[in-house]
Amino acid sequence: MAEASTTPPAEANAGAANGARSVVETLAASGIEVCFANPGTSEMHFVSALEQGAGIRPVLCLFEGVATGAADGYARMAGKPASTLLHLGPGLANGLANLHNARKAQSPVVNIIGDDALSHLRFETPLTSDVQALWPTSSARRPPTPRGTAGVRLRPPRTAI
């Protein structure tokens, strides 16, 4: 009889490439060193990718307004781009006032906004929203497949996006 593996599934797949890890590695390669995050359950793959050590320091924030304000302040004071991780459209809405300020100040902030799993969209859950309608200058797109973000390349932004 074979022995059961004692390695937790998350650790067993730690080196496996996925969309979240690709985004984190691209952010790091673009000069982003910190991510101010207020994650929910839909962003756990991204949080896991941050923990796997691509060189981006995650900073947990208890409210999206804090995350976006901290990213703006960091970008202004350090003179480096910052990133945020926000929970779905309502999380973006909670941080919009600070993102407005960041944009006016031309602070380099990249916002990662979670979304429902494609298979859940048909349920129109309470937090399902149209991110592009909330922030028209975003590059929010729902890919036709989960692999729709492969090969994305980012340059550090000049202003908040």
Contact 42, 90 (CB under 8 A): no
Name the more confident of 101 and 160: 101
In 2-149 the beta strands, taken as DSSP E runs, fall at 34-37, 57-60, 82-86, 109-113
* Sequence-ordered alpha helix ranges (H) in 79-147: 88-104, 131-134
Res 125: pLDDT? 81
Res 137: pLDDT? 67
Res 157: pLDDT? 54
Residue from 60, 21, 56 nearest 39 by CA = 60
**What is the mean pLDDT of the segment spanning 38-59?**
92
Domain ranges (residues) in the chain: 17-134
At 104 the three-state DSSP class reads helix
- pLDDT at residue 101 is higher than 70: yes
**What is the mean pLDDT of the segment spanning 41-46?**
90
Tens-digit pLDDT profile for residues 132-146: 777 776 665 554 444
Contact residues for 106 (Cβ-Cβ < 8 A; gap 6+): 158, 159
- pLDDT at residue 49 is higher than 90: yes
CA 86, 87, 92, 93 torsion-angle sign: negative
User: For the whole model, what pTM was predicted?
Assistant: 0.76
CATH number of 17-134: 3.40.50.970
**What is the mean pLDDT of the segment spanning 109-138?**
81
Res 154: pLDDT? 45
Name the more confident of 18 and 5: 18
In 7-121 the beta strands, taken as DSSP E runs, fall at 34-37, 57-60, 82-86, 109-113
Res 130: pLDDT? 81
d(CA 127, CA 94): 13
Tens-digit pLDDT profile for residues 61-91: 999 999 999 999 999 999 999 999 999 989 9
Rounded-to-10 torsion of CA 7, 13, 14, 15: 130
